[in-house]
Amino acid sequence: MPTTLKATTYNNYIDGAWAPSASGETFENRNPANTDDLIGVFQKSTRQDVEAALAAAARAYETWRLVPAPRRAELLFKAAQLIVERKDQFARDMTREMGKVLNETGGDVQEAIDMTFYMAGEGRRMFGQTVPSELRNKFAMSMRQPLGVCSIITPWNFPMAIPSWKIIPALVCGNAVVFKPASQTPLSAVNFVKVLEDAGIPRGVVNMVTGDGDEVGTPLTSHEAVRVVSFTGSTHVGRIVNKAAAPGFKKVHLEMGGKNVIMIMDDADLELAVDGCLWGGFGTTGQRCTAASRVVVHEKVYRRFVEAFVDRAKSLVVGDGLDPKTQMGPSNSESQLQTVMKYVEIGKGEGATLATGGHRLEKGAYARGFFHEPTVFADVDPGMRIAREEIFGPVVSVMSCRSLDEAIAIGNGVEYGLSASIYTQDINRAFTAMRDLYTGIFYVNAPTIGAEVHLPFGGTKNTGNGHREAGVAALDVFSEWKSVYVDFSGRLQRAQIDLEEI
């Protein structure tokens, strides 16, 4: 399915075939930097499409689970190599459909490459345990086993990286998947699935349906064939997913919102801290669950930091992500831009100081896109809504503190617990903050973004439900433990009862 500048109609992928939706309906995908740019036409799927995909996955699972894991891994290694070959085109496609600048979309694709290579390596590991039995002539061990059909529901902000975090570990463990990408970024999903097809993944093992609504979402989260639901998105929708899956006792993996904090102490390298806050707050136009939307600065350096940070934010070049001069792209959609604008008004109404930005950009080159100025609020009270609620846009709230303890209290004082950071030259402060911030990820002298694929990714509180993506931890989402006992004594031995004298 070639990618061209001409609008193309793209199909669902079910049971090894690219086919239109049973509804006969489609939807358009347009460039958020220039809505005149029609990227493609995609299928508006129905429950019938989803059920066909689930049935195909259930059939394919019965043979895929029996393929030795090292053989499954060989296909995934091939997929990773294909992504490497197609990286530049995939990055350009992604920038056109979701807006972030080209070096960031290249990083998104690179993360899919890294994850696929990493997880393919688990095909020769997936270690269990061998342990001594308490009885003679008895062997005890554990092993991972796949679960079955996995529903994969992903957002638009990392449209190739996040699917790779879910689909690749699911496959290496021996599961089959039905993948529903965000409707704002279906082309990146098509590109990813086409790679898996070209790598030789058997028919039915990977299926993809595009579209939104109850007709798609309900069967993906509640159908009896589904054993795992892996969802990344808002906390509000995550609750709905969790409730829908609960009656069937499905394993549910949720990655949801964030309101992440950077703490800057009075001994910090301020220039480095400004660099980190700029990247953490405005990278991907602030549209990351790990974005550094809160900055807490020690009162001794507060004014110096705010002045430098505001000056740098004002200098950011906003525009089309395909332009090499652009440093920050558009919001992903009109609705996302409206959310940003709403929170700017909330911040002004709460009495925060609008230090820079605060306006939609809509003249000249911005007229056909969803652009907003990089925005900094200063003198923010930790209780304000702009300091507590996820905005998912280029808005950063700066607060002051008198001590490390106060900074930690502010950092922990929100419903989310994904990522946090401290800038300091004091190792004691760094380790104290590392211990006391209740988050799933923590950085020292770096912003709240930048996770790598070989460590667990995920959050606490209303950010997640205890599972993790990436690293070996991802295998726990897509496999179950089986303990195995082999008694070669030739007689009945009763554990905890027939214990011999030493």
Q: Quick one: pLDDT at residue 2?
A: 40
pLDDT tens profile 133-158: 999 999 999 999 999 999 999 999 99
Percentage of residues in the chain having pLDDT higher than 70: 99
pLDDT tens profile 388-436: 999 999 999 999 999 999 999 999 999 999 999 999 999 999 999 999 9
Angstrom distances, CA of residue 275 to CA of 229, 272, 280, 311:
37, 5, 8, 12
Question: Residue 3 pLDDT > 50, yes or no?
Answer: no
Residue 4: pLDDT band (50, 70, 90) is very low
Spatial distance between the Cα atoms of 381 and 177, rounded to a whole number of angstroms = 45
Contact 388, 294 (CB under 8 A): no
> Where would I find the H helices in 18-160?
47-64, 69-98, 102-121
| DSSP secondary structure string for all residues of 354-392 | EEE--SEE-SGGGTTS-EE--EEEES--TTSGGGTS---
Spatial distance between the Cα atoms of 425 and 454, rounded to a whole number of angstroms = 27
Q: Quick one: pLDDT at residue 68?
A: 98
> C-alpha dihedral over 125, 128, 133, 134, to 10 degrees?
140
Spatial distance between the Cα atoms of 235 and 233, rounded to a whole number of angstroms = 7
Q: What is the pLDDT averaged over residues 237-266?
A: 97
* Fold held by 46-256+464-483: Aldehyde Dehydrogenase; Chain A, domain 1 (3.40.605)
Domain 46-256+464-483 and domain 261-444, same fold? Reply is: no
Question: Residue 318 pLDDT > 50, yes or no?
Answer: yes
- For the annotated catalytic residues, the residue numbers are 255, 289
Q: Quick one: pLDDT at residue 348?
A: 98
Contact 413, 243 (CB under 8 A): no
Q: In 10 A of CB 334, how many CB atoms?
A: 12
Gyration radius (Cα) of the chain, Å: 24
Spatial distance between the Cα atoms of 298 and 406, rounded to a whole number of angstroms = 9
Q: Quick one: pLDDT at residue 1?
A: 42
Q: For the chain, what are the domain ranges?
A: 46-256+464-483, 261-444
Residue type at position 466: G
* Fold held by 261-444: Aldehyde Dehydrogenase; Chain A, domain 2 (3.40.309)
- Chain centroid to CA 220: 19
Percentage of residues in the chain having pLDDT higher than 90: 97
Average pLDDT, the chain: 96
Residue 6: pLDDT band (50, 70, 90) is low
Q: Please, what is the Cα angle at 66 between 65 and 71, to 5 degrees?
A: 95
Q: pTM higher than 0.75 for the full model?
A: yes
